[in-house]
Chain A
Amino acid sequence: MTAMVKAEGVHKSFGAAHVLKGIDLEVAPREVFCLVGPSGSGKSTFLRCINHLEQINAGRLYVDGNLVGYRQKGDKLFELKDREVAAQRRDIGMVFQRFNLFPHMTAIENVMEAPVQVKGETKAVARERAQRLLDRVGLADKAGNYPSQLSGGQQQRVAIARALAMEPKLMLFDEPTSALDPELVGDVLDVMRGLAEDGMTMIVVTHEMGFAREVGDSLVFMDDGVVVESGHPRDVLTNPQQDRTKAFLSKVL
């Protein structure tokens, strides 16, 4: 079975700042893959490379067997056109720390937007699926609300529904709960747990170690642009081998 995501020696620099220093990892289909690490270690950057919001400088990155952002002919790489990059992104859902809902559209319009604009679905079909997805994240009665009329937790659940509307085969979560008040975190994690049970492949950057332990199939600890330690969440969290992992976990657990 091909890996859903495969990274081989991925490097990324911003000018002089070398942020990712050779990341190798593999995410299997239906796997819940947790990414933890201190601030500035490059977790968000890696996630953004996966759907080509950032361009990598060296190495190879594959999603479902396809090279991200490039086409390889022989040993030559060709950059994909904007349209082809957009097509690749359709299959990858992304949920942001700060929600990034479209503020001028209601909840249901947010969810309908991409299927109508990108897939050319009719509004009726898109609306029906959007209503179903909002129902699934527990917000059926908030369909007509603008984002400014929703709590943070509700906004994040709409954002998840919006990503799901494109029926992605991979979901990327970048600290989906860290902008939320503690009492709102549970609702969002519940939705993610449900997604995991339905077999969605997920890469989750998170500081919620409880969630990682319960729902995660594997966990990677990143520091300073490299993978320091990886394994099953239970093993890494309860019995870390590396000093850097121990130091980090002693701070967050």
Chain B
Amino acid sequence: MSVNTDKAGRTDAPPPGTAPETIKAVPVRHYGRWISAVVVLGLLGLIGKAFSEADIRYEAVPDFLTDSSVIDGLFMTVWISVLAMAVGLVLGIVLAVMRLSKNPVTSSVAWGYIWFFRGTPVYVQLLLWFNLALVFPIINLGFYKDEMSDFMTPFMAALLGLGLNEAAYMSEIVRAGIQSVDEGQTEASHALGMSHGKTLRRVVLPQAMRVIVPPTGNEFLNMLKTSSLAAGACQYTELLRSTSNIGNTTGAVVEMLALAVVWYLVLTSIFSVGQYYLERHYAKGSQRSLPQTPLQRITVNLKSLGRPSGGAA
């Protein structure tokens, strides 16, 4: 059996001494790029000028940037977003599998769930959870029994409201991901004697992740911001609530909004980078070589800077 044809090749390198003449051509001039850059810079300048001349004391922003109540709020925002997203992801996978199930009862239940939670405003859902004691004054789960008003803390209401709503959206994303995987994969797995569950966990979901991760990143960034609704609906003190509290007591209302904007941008930036690495992880095997990480790209660029271009040997 001849298997080493892969290592052949490499005969097309130019013979030494006859280095090919490098092409020196006049590059195409991209005038449009220059013009649009000037227009964009001009517009940014105008907006910046308007904001700098506005009656906003920007000095107040750094003063409160790391104020302990702001940091607390920041932590609460991240905490509720991560937890609600985890609830959404797990329940979303369950719902997606139910929705694709051959069992008409399970698939209708999933359909109904998605229909309700996608069809109503999340703000209303948060209000309903927070005021659940009006419907069920006592919570009794068999192993756990309590006054509903004690159980349904602002945190609990925010978690249920945001997480259950998210699950409806996530289930549609997961379903799209599962359906994107070639049926031959399921068949091959079943033919090996793997059960439905193992096939889903080991074969289908890892491949579906490539389709699932990008929109899930979107959902998470949305969640970071949507979590601010939990302040109004169920008294959950997250980032926006804690900054506007400061704004109300110090009178620096707009300044504190600017501060919140800064923190939201920092959060979304950090999580976007995380998403990039997650996507890279799930690209494993789908491309011949993995794309470079930003760090690798920088080091490669730096190294090539140190080398004289043209490479005269």
Mark out the residues of chain B between 195 and 240 whose CB falls within 8 Å of any chain A CB in the assembled complex. Answer: 195-196, 198, 202-203, 206-207
User: In the complex, what's the smallest C-beta–C-beta distance from B229 to chain A, in angstroms?
Assistant: 37
Chain A residues contacting B203 (CB-CB under 8 Å) are 102
A117-B287 in contact (CB<8A): no
Contact among B3, B191, B207, B284 with A94 in the assembled complex (CB-CB below 8 Å) = B191
Chain A residues contacting B287 (CB-CB under 8 Å) are 148
Q: How large is the interface on A (under 10, 10 to 19, 20 to 34, 35 or more residues)?
A: 35 or more
Which residue of A is nearest B182, CB measured?
A: A100
A86 to B184, CA, bound (A): 16
A83 at the interface (CB under 8 A from B): yes
B285-A187 in contact (CB<8A): no
A151 to B2, CA, bound (A): 13
Report how many residues on chain B are interfacial, defined by Cβ distance under 8 Å: 28
Q: A103-B207, A146-B284 are in contact. Are A86 and B195 (CB under 8 A)?
A: yes
User: In the complex, what's the smallest C-beta–C-beta distance from B188 to chain A, in angstroms?
Assistant: 4
Which residue of B is nearest A85, CB measured?
A: B190
A89 to B199, CA, bound (A): 14
Chain B residues contacting A198 (CB-CB under 8 Å) are none
Please report the number of residue pairs spanning A and B whose Cβ atoms sit closer than 8 angstroms.
Answer: 85
B187 at the interface (CB under 8 A from A): yes
B285-A104 in contact (CB<8A): yes
B202-A113 in contact (CB<8A): yes
B184-A98 in contact (CB<8A): yes
Q: A105-B285, A148-B287 are in contact. Are A90 and B193 (CB under 8 A)?
A: yes
Which residue of B is nearest A105, CB measured?
A: B285
Chain B residues contacting A90 (CB-CB under 8 Å) are 192-193
B1-A148 in contact (CB<8A): no
Contact string, A67-83, partner B, CB cutoff 8 A, digits 1/0?
00000000000000011
Contact among B188, B191, B288 with A102 in the assembled complex (CB-CB below 8 Å) = B188
A25 at the interface (CB under 8 A from B): no
A118 at the interface (CB under 8 A from B): yes
A82 to B191, CA, bound (A): 12
Chain A residues contacting B206 (CB-CB under 8 Å) are 104
B286 at the interface (CB under 8 A from A): yes
A53 at the interface (CB under 8 A from B): yes
Q: A117-B198, A138-B3, A187-B3 are in contact. Are A166 and B193 (CB under 8 A)?
A: yes
Which residue of B is nearest A150, CB measured?
A: B6
Chain A residues contacting B202 (CB-CB under 8 Å) are 113, 117
Contact string, A91-125, partner B, CB cutoff 8 A, digits 1/0?
01110101011111110000001100110000000
A82-B195 in contact (CB<8A): yes
Contact among B193, B198, B286, B288 with A104 in the assembled complex (CB-CB below 8 Å) = B286
B194 at the interface (CB under 8 A from A): yes
Please give 15 more A-B residue pairs, beta carbons under 8 A apart, in addition to A90-B192, A100-B185.
A53-B187, A53-B191, A92-B191, A101-B188, A102-B207, A103-B207, A113-B192, A114-B193, A117-B202, A118-B198, A138-B1, A146-B284, A146-B285, A149-B288, A154-B3
